[in-house]
């Protein structure tokens, strides 16, 4: 199996590479690239994302043909894609970080700043929080409800269709922290930094 981590020169993806390399050992061919031909011939795609929604979208758009290739892969050909953090947020139609920015529009919804309730909740939401599983998701195989995952973010994805939500976490409100829609998977938390339980999620994705 060929799995590609999309390297679109936005933020730090070393941890994503390290954890996938660890889990993929001897089982999966892992590539880290933005080469559209490599992406086309992959079986699975990982779309990481760090920094702001706007900077990630801008970086994706700056690579010729990348957005179209990803769309063809995930939407037309319906092959498995996992978005992590801002990688998940970009599934939305629109994001409001820095300025109003158009997302990929794969799952209808918006990305807005977490309501900190007048400073009652510190932002970014940094650290380990429990996930509350909302529906059966293939990447949660053998993952217990209320498992701890590592989060670092100030913005949240609010999908229109609530049936895509596979897990939420409690911080100021019930924040969407995982989605599954057909072949599209996304986590707001960082499985690559969530210890053994996070590696298990990666393993589940690789085994799909």
Q: Which residues bind other proteins (CB under 8 A)?
A: 11-12, 14-15, 18-19, 21-22, 50-52, 55, 116, 119, 122-130, 148, 150-154, 170-171, 192-196, 198-199
Question: What secondary structure does DSSP assign to 143-173, as a single string?
Answer: PPTT-EEEEEESEEEEESSGGGEEEEEEESE
> What's the farthest any 2 CA atoms get from each other in the chain?
50
CB of residue 147 to other proteins, shortest distance in Å: 10
Q: Is 85 a catalytic residue?
A: yes
Kindly give the pairing relationship between strand 94-95 and strand 29-33. unpaired
CB of residue 41 to other proteins, shortest distance in Å: 27
Cβ-based nearer residue to other proteins, 76 or 99: 99
Q: Is 177 a catalytic residue?
A: no
Q: ∠185-166-163 over CA atoms, to 5°?
A: 100
Cβ-based nearer residue to other proteins, 52 or 166: 52
User: CA Rg, the chain, in Å?
Assistant: 16
Q: Is 192 a catalytic residue?
A: yes
Cβ-based nearer residue to other proteins, 42 or 101: 101
Rounded to an integer, what is the distance from CA 14 to the centroid of its chain?
Answer: 15
Residue 26: count of CB within 10 angstroms of its CB: 4
Cβ-based nearer residue to other proteins, 97 or 180: 97
Selected catalytic residue, list 97, 156, 180, 192: 192
Task: Report the first-to-last Cα separation within the chain, whole angstroms.
Answer: 11
CB of residue 79 to other proteins, shortest distance in Å: 26
Active site residues: 85, 190, 192
């Amino acid at each position: 199996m060929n799995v590609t981590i999309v390297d679109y020169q936005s933020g730090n993806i070393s941890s994503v590479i390290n954890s996938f390399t660890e889990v993929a050992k001897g089982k999966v061919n892992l590539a880290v690239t933005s080469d559209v031909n490599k992406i086309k011939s992959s079986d699975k795609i990982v779309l990481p994302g760090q920094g702001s929604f706007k900077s990630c979208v801008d970086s994706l758009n700056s690579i010729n043909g990348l957005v179209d290739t990803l769309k063809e892969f995930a939407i037309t050909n319906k092959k498995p894609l996992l978005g992590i953090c801002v990688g998940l947020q970009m599934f939305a139609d629109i994001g409001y970080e820095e300025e109003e920015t158009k997302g990929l529009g794969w799952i209808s919804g918006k990305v807005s700043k977490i309501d900190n309730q007048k400073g009652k909740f510190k932002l970014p939401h940094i650290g380990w929080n429990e996930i509350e599983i909302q529906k059966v998701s293939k990447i949660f195989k053998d993952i217990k409800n209320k498992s701890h995952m590592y989060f670092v973010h100030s913005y949240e994805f609010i999908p229109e269709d609530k049936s895509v939500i596979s897990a939420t976490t409690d911080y100021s409100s019930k924040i969407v922290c995982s989605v599954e829609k057909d072949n599209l998977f996304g986590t707001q938390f960082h499985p690559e930094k969530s210890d053994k339980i996070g590696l298990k999620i990666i393993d589940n994705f690789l085994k799909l």
